[in-house]
Amino acid sequence: MHKAHTNSNGTAGPGIRQRATLQTKVLLSITVLVTVVFVSAVAVALYFVNMDWKGELESRSQFIADLQADGLAQPLWNFELGQAEAMLRTLERDPDFRFAEITDSNGTVIATRGDPVASEKSVVTARQAIVHSETSEDELSTIQGTRLGELKLVLSQERLRDSLVQLAAISLLVLGLILFFVLQGVVRALRMMTTPLKGMVVAMEELAAGNSEVEIPALDRKDEIGHMAQAVQVFK
């Protein structure tokens, strides 16, 4: 029997190459589409998560700076620098702590803790004035305070960025799983169409070669593939 679907050199004929190309194009198109949509959605989500977490970090740094500045007022007023330095040491308990600095009203550094940062991009910085206030004798009103200096608190964004990297890695894993199952489904769907089409191509080539006894596949199907098989059957 003449094998019309192969060339004389044994290589696959145009029909098989076209089907392989079609499947490759479909899979590539779906991969690109799913990847672009998924990555775009994840990028937007990570952006808003980053903004939210950074906002919380900034709020926490300012809250801590406010509390510490209130606590530092009395030690600085009494020139108890040792107590002020001890209060700075307590800030190191915060897992995001990077640097803290106390300056007097002239901008002179009184005490520091931690390592200064070269760039502000990877940290959040909070500043709070250190003000000593006194109450009146009846303790019902507060006399205008005296500015003693300023507290600078720097918290690192390293943990925040590590969390974002972990989320991105998990998202890539999810993308891989989605692509795997989607492409598996697409391949199965393509095979439902290409397998009978391949049989019809072979049958038509056999009919063209004069073999009228060839069997036409998918004649029992009620869908478009079955209609195509019925059309090929006419040529027998």
**What is the pLDDT, as a whole number, of residue 194?**
80
**What is the pLDDT, as a whole number, of residue 183?**
93
43-165, which class in CATH?
alpha beta
Q: Where are the beta strands (DSSP E) in 67-136?
A: 97-104, 109-114, 123-135
**What is the pLDDT, as a whole number, of residue 144?**
62
Give the pair of three-digit tokens for residue 150: 């300023």
Q: What is the pLDDT of residues 28-76, one digit of tens each?
A: 999 999 999 999 999 999 999 999 999 999 999 999 999 999 999 999 9
In Å, how far are 4, 54, 160, 163, 205 from 51, measured between CA atoms? Answer: 64, 5, 10, 13, 63
**Intervals of the chain under pLDDT 50:** 1-16, 140-142
Measured on CA atoms in the order 198, 199, 200, 206, is the torsion positive or negative?
positive
pTM: predicted TM-score of the whole model, two decimal places: 0.69
What are the boundaries of each domain within the chain? 43-165
